[in-house]
């Protein structure tokens, strides 16, 4: 999914936060559900105890005293009456049986009990509504059980009303209708706040721990990206968790091995350069002692070709491992100088655009651009367009010719050493086939690249990308 984070840090933090969020939501739901169940149980026990206490109290009174006490106790949320006969249609639901059992447990002596109904009844105001059996304005009159207007506005509430009867010892039938206290409607803000605080603290600690664990991996990735551009960069600190420290040690060992290999190769190249050119120099000296003829001229040409081949090979091998120091380089001035050299050789070069200076190795970059301009002049009809595009983070140098172009399937293969599209192997028609290979090696040593693309209107465009 596009909105998911791509980094390891973001994915771990997202997983932790999702888990914490789900755990806290489930915990809050379980807490509120348990709170509601506990409240229901307490309200049931309270109602059973109160009803049992009234039955015990009224059962020991005379009819006259009982009538006075019933009138005194007939106030919301309890309605009492001695005027209703014993009903034959009792409620036989499990809730009714449970309530009857609770009341019976509170009685000192057994009394005939039956639950008529356990239902939720709306608390309504106004004489237009049908009057329920416990009063014309509901069990609490004009106000709710806690003195305020019931319903919290225009929305009626539906409290639980228990209607039951008890047959006293002298045969009197006591009918009562009791409204159970309503559950608390407020949220347990302290408990929810504690959960939120816990989630926040755990999230912050988890984020800090994940950042601490992933920072060495970020450093490792940055070091790996910069290794091709700067093999002499400082080694990674071998700290952090065991696996990360081990990866850093392995990376540092690889860097040391590469430096050792390249230093050995540079020494070998220096030896090869000396050992190959010394015999060629002796051959030139000996040729000077021979008389002027066609054989001597042919041998001189062969020696020059061998010298050029050795020089080209050494240039290619040194291209990506030049020890030249990088300086702030003016690309416009460099390209103007190369354009003047090409025009002196008979080409037409047009320079477009500008760019601010960049850090680069002047001689290596000059060799790269000179090879590309020389190819454009040689195979592109003698007219070359050079365009500078200074964009965010990089500079593009586009060198376009007006030649026959290069087939798409050959545009990568032509960068391989000694690969030439020109059919003949004569050096005067196409060189040794190392120009593009050297150009790409130099560009990649700068952290960039060289690519080929078709030019609009015919021809080829060589694009050099140099990062800042």
pLDDT score of 452: 93
pLDDT score of 336: 93
Quote the crossing angle between the two packed helices 8-59 and 63-73, to the nearest 10°. Answer: 150
Tell whether 187 is covered by a domain.
no
Which one, of 72, 59, 91, 51, lies nearest residue 167 by Cα?
59
pLDDT score of 272: 74
Asked if 102 contacts 48 with a C-beta cutoff of 8 angstroms, the reply is yes
Tell whether 57 is covered by a domain.
yes
pLDDT score of 319: 66
pLDDT score of 140: 37
Tell whether 440 is covered by a domain.
yes
Quote the crossing angle between the two packed helices 331-344 and 362-379, to the nearest 10°. Answer: 40
Tell whether 284 is covered by a domain.
no
Structural domain boundaries enclosing 66: 10-145+156-179
Provide the CATH number for the domain around residue 447: 3.30.565.10
Tell whether 248 is covered by a domain.
no
Q: For residue 83, give the DSSP letter.
A: -
With vertex at residue 98, the alpha carbon angle to CA 95 and CA 103, rounded to the nearest 5 degrees, is 125
**Length of the chain (residues):** 468
Give, in order, the Cα–Cα distances in Å from 18 to each of 57, 199, 460: 58, 11, 53
pLDDT score of 366: 92
Tell the burial category of 290 from Cβ atoms under 10 Å away from its Cβ (0-12, 13-18, 19+). exposed
Tell whether 243 is covered by a domain.
no
- Taking the C-alpha atoms of residue 293 and residue 296, their distance in angstroms, rounded to an integer, is 6
Q: What is the pLDDT along the chain (468 residues), one digit of tens a residue?
A: 567 776 767 777 777 778 878 887 887 788 777 777 776 677 777 788 888 888 888 888 888 888 888 888 888 888 889 988 998 888 888 888 888 888 888 887 888 888 888 887 665 443 333 334 444 333 433 333 333 333 344 444 567 788 899 988 888 898 988 887 666 556 667 777 877 888 788 888 888 887 777 777 777 777 887 776 667 778 888 877 787 788 888 988 998 898 888 778 767 766 776 677 778 888 888 888 888 888 888 888 888 878 777 777 676 666 655 667 888 999 999 999 999 999 998 889 999 999 999 999 898 899 899 999 998 988 887 889 999 999 888 999 999 998 888 888 888 888 887 777 665 444 444 556 778 888 888 888 888 899 999 988 888 999 999 988
Tell whether 302 is covered by a domain.
no
* SS3 assignment, position 454: strand
The number of distinct structural domains making up the chain is 2
pLDDT score of 334: 93
- Taking the C-alpha atoms of residue 261 and residue 255, their distance in angstroms, rounded to an integer, is 10
Asked if 165 contacts 84 with a C-beta cutoff of 8 angstroms, the reply is yes
Which residues are 179's β-sheet partners? 161
Tell whether 24 is covered by a domain.
yes
Tell the burial category of 183 from Cβ atoms under 10 Å away from its Cβ (0-12, 13-18, 19+). middle
Q: Which two tokens stand for residue 325?
A: 């120091």
């Amino acid at each position: 999914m596009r909105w998911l984070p791509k980094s390891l840090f973001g994915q771990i933090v997202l997983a932790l936060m999702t888990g914490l969020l789900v755990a806290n939501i489930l915990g809050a739901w379980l807490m509120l559900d348990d709170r509601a169940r506990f409240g229901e149980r307490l309200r049931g026990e309270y109602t059973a105890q109160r009803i049992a206490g009234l039955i015990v109290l009224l059962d020991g009174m005379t009819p006259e005293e009982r009538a006075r006490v019933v009138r005194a106790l007939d106030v919301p949320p309890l309605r009492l009456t001695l005027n209703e006969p014993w009903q034959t249609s009792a409620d036989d639901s499990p809730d009714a049986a449970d309530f009857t059992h609770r009341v019976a447990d509170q009685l000192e002596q057994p009394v005939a009990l039956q639950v008529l109904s356990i239902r939720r009844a709306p608390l309504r105001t106004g004489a237009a509504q049908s009057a329920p059996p416990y009063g014309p304005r509901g069990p609490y009159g004009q106000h709710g059980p806690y003195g305020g207007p019931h319903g919290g506005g225009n929305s009626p509430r539906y409290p639980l009303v228990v209607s039951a009867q008890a047959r006293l010892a002298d045969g009197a039938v006591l009918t009562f209708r009791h409204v159970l206290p309503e559950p608390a409607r407020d949220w347990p803000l302290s408990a929810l706040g504690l959960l939120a605080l816990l989630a926040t603290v755990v999230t912050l600690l988890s984020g800090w721990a994940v950042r601490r664990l992933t920072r060495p991996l970020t450093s490792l990735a940055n070091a790996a990206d910069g290794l091709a551009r700067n093999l002499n960069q400082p080694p990674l600190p071998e700290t952090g968790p065991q696996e990360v420290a081990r990866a850093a040690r392995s990376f540092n060992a690889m860097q040391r091995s590469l430096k050792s290999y390249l230093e050995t190769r540079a020494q070998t190249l220096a030896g090869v350069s000396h050992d190959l050119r010394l015999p060629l120099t002796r051959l030139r000296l000996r040729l000077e002692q021979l008389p002027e003829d066609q054989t001597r001229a042919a041998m001189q040409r062969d020696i020059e070709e061998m010298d050029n081949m050795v020089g080209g090979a050494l240039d290619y091998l040194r291209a990506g491992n030049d020890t030249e120091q990088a300086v702030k380089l003016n690309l416009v001035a460099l390209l103007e100088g190369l354009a003047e050299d090409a025009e002196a050789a008979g080409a037409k070069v047009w320079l477009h655009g500008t760019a601010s200076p960049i850090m680069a190795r002047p001689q290596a970059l000059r060799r790269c651009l000179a090879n590309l301009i020389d190819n454009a002049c040689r195979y592109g009809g003698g007219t070359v367009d050079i365009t500078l595009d200074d964009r965010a983070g990089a500079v593009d140098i586009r060198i376009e010719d007006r030649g026959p172009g290069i087939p798409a399937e050959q545009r990568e293969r032509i960068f391989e050493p000694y690969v030439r599209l020109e059919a003949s192997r004569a050096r005067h028609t196409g060189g040794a086939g190392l120009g593009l290979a050297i150009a790409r090696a130099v560009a990649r040593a700068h952290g960039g690249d060289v690519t080929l693309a078709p030019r609009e209107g015919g021809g080829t465009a060589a694009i050099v990308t140099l990062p800042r």
